[in-house]
């Protein structure tokens, strides 16, 4: 009976081609749909070992493999989950979904420059005051990079030692540089920021006082205080100074009095209009503006007549019930060896900055740039520029660059110059670094 059963199945098998799902001619619409080959296979009895037709060897008409293909996942690797240690890159994304620049203005560079990344790491560390970490990296990089690339790190390391006043290390590095690069090393400059601070010889500098100065916006006064502390020669331009509150007036009076008594050359120009305005505000008997009274007397001592000074000195004494200050001959104001006002001014009318520039807004640069046909900002005395100040300087110069003004930033050390390039300041001004 079993053998007879198989013969019946063999006789019925030829009828199956009528149910081919991919027949060359379309099937009539009235024909009922035929079950897929997989369902037909399920209706068969359990396969026997000697059965000629088995599911493992489908006949040609069966579409089962083609039907399963779209339902399964493609075998392509990108759709498989990434292993924890798999490499992944920006190239795996569709370029139409991403832009080359983010909202922070940082360009996405597919060909990252490892050399530039190392430079940026060093200058940002230095800008944040991490001198030791910056020096450690530089000492590694000068041995990792060679040729022209390596020389870039050598110069950064020389400037770091120069700025921190480490002359012995600087000289030793010069010998290593000559051997490694077969070039003469940079020489130690006596005019370095650290040496200038030690010798009290920073300058000459120029400070611009403008507008109405208040305690919240008196950065130029703070800079003047630093320069007086360093015993630097300073020219203070008061041409556009309109007024100041009592707190700023007291600071200016104290600074000018200290400079005069120590015979430090602090030269004031353009004070006539401001003196007239300040003089008109001071009323005898009104004790509300004592700091402004002292500033007025200091300015009259420097730029007024003896009669005008003594008249207001008496008013001051009556108002505050104090002995009136005495007039000092102008010969006593200037030191015997002090330079004249003409020689105290920079030869090229550049605006000199110095020291460590941290959290600066550079409000005074408005008067500097607008008052000069060719604005020159001299950074030769700047030891360090922090990241915030560099960004503020970009914001300050960008409108002038857009208006077609040509601004020059002169003589920053390599650490400061590289930071300027990192924040894009080199797109707003011409940066001139001294040849080494």
Superfamily grouping for domain 346-432 = STAS domain (3.30.750.24)
Segment 227-249, tens digit of pLDDT: 888 888 888 889 888 899 999 99
Contact 248, 214 (CB under 8 A): yes
pTM score, two decimals? 0.48
Band (pLDDT 50/70/90 cuts) for residue 14 is low
The predicted pLDDT at position 333 comes to 39
Say which range, 334-338, 363-367, 408-412, has the weakest mean pLDDT. Answer: 334-338
Segment 302-315, tens digit of pLDDT: 888 889 999 999 99
- Of 324 and 111, the one with more pLDDT: 324
pLDDT at 406 over 90: yes
Among 169, 134, 167, 171, which Cα is nearest to 153's? 134
Segment 157-176, tens digit of pLDDT: 999 999 889 999 999 998 98
Tokens describing residue 297: 């007397």
- Of 248 and 28, the one with more pLDDT: 248
Band (pLDDT 50/70/90 cuts) for residue 55 is very low
CA distances from 224 to 36, 80, 303, 361, 398 (A): 93, 66, 19, 15, 26
pLDDT at 210 over 80: yes
Does this chain's domain 205-341 share its CATH topology with 346-432?
yes
pLDDT at 346 over 60: no
pLDDT at 413 over 90: yes
The predicted pLDDT at position 198 comes to 38
Q: Which CATH number fits domain 205-341: 1.25.40, 3.90.550, 3.40.50, 3.30.750?
A: 3.30.750
pLDDT at 34 over 90: no
Domain ranges (residues) in the chain: 117-196, 205-341, 346-432
- Of 209 and 436, the one with more pLDDT: 209
Contact 388, 359 (CB under 8 A): yes
Instruction: Return d(Cα 323, Cα 314) in angstroms, integer.
Output: 8
How is residue 359 annotated by DSSP? Answer: S
pLDDT at 133 over 50: yes
The predicted pLDDT at position 123 comes to 94
In residues, how long is the chain?
A: 436
Among 188, 333, 320, which Cα is nearest to 267's? 333
Among 246, 235, 236, which Cα is nearest to 212's? 246
Q: Which helix (H) or strand (E) holds 381?
A: strand 376-385
DSSP 63-96: -HHHHHTTTSPP--GGGSPPPTT----GGGS-GG
The predicted pLDDT at position 76 comes to 41
| Average pLDDT score, the chain | 74
Instruction: Return d(Cα 111, Cα 91) in angstroms, integer.
Output: 11
Instruction: Return d(Cα 194, Cα 164) in angstroms, integer.
Output: 6
């Amino acid at each position: 009976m079993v053998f007879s059963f198989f013969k019946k199945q063999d006789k019925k098998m030829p009828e199956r081609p009528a149910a081919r799902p991919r027949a060359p001619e379309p099937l009539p619409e009235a024909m009922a749909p035929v079950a897929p080959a997989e369902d037909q296979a399920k209706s068969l009895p359990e396969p026997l070992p000697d059965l000629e037709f088995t599911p493992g060897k489908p006949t040609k008409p069966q579409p089962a493999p083609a039907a399963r293909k779209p339902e399964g996942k493609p075998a392509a690797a990108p759709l498989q989950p990434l292993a924890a240690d798999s490499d992944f890159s920006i190239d795996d994304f569709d370029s139409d979904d991403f832009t080359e620049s983010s909202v922070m203005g940082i360009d996405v560079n597919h060909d990252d420059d490892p050399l530039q990344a190392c430079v940026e790491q060093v200058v940002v560390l230095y800008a944040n005051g991490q001198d030791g970490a910056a020096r450690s990296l530089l000492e590694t990089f000068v041995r990792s990079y060679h040729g022209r690339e390596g020389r870039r790190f050598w110069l950064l390391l020389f400037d770091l030692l120069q700025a921190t006043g480490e002359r012995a290390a600087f000289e030793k590095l010069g010998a290593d540089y000559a051997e490694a690069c077969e070039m003469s090393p940079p020489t130690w400059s006596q005019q370095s920021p650290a040496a200038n601070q030690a010798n009290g010889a920073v300058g000459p500098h120029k400070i611009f006082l403008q507008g109405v100065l208040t305690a919240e916006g008196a950065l130029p006064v703070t800079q003047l205080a630093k320069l007086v502390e360093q015993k630097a020669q300073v020219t203070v331009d008061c041409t556009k100074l309109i007024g100041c509150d009592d707190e700023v007036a007291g600071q200016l009076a104290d600074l000018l009095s200290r400079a005069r008594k120590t015979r430090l050359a602090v030269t004031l120009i353009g004070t006539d209009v401001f003196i007239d305005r300040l003089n008109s505000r001071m009323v005898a008997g009104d004790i509300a503006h004592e700091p402004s009274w002292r500033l007025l007397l200091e300015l009259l001592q420097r730029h007024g007549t003896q009669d005008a000074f003594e008249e207001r000195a008496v008013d001051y004494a009556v108002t505050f019930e104090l002995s009136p200050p005495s007039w000092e001959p102008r010969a006593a104001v200037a030191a015997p060896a002090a330079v004249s006002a003409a020689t105290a001014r920079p030869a090229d009318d550049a605006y000199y900055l110095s020291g460590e520039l941290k959290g600066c807004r550079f409000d005074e640069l408005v008067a500097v740039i607008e008052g000069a046909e060719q604005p020159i900002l001299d950074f030769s005395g700047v030891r360090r520029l922090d990241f915030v100040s560099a960004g503020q300087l970009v914001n300050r110069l960008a409108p002038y660059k857009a208006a077609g003004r040509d601004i020059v930033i002169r003589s920053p050390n390599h650490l400061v110059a590289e930071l300027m390039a990192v924040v894009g300041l080199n797109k707003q001004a011409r940066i001139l670094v001294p040849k080494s």
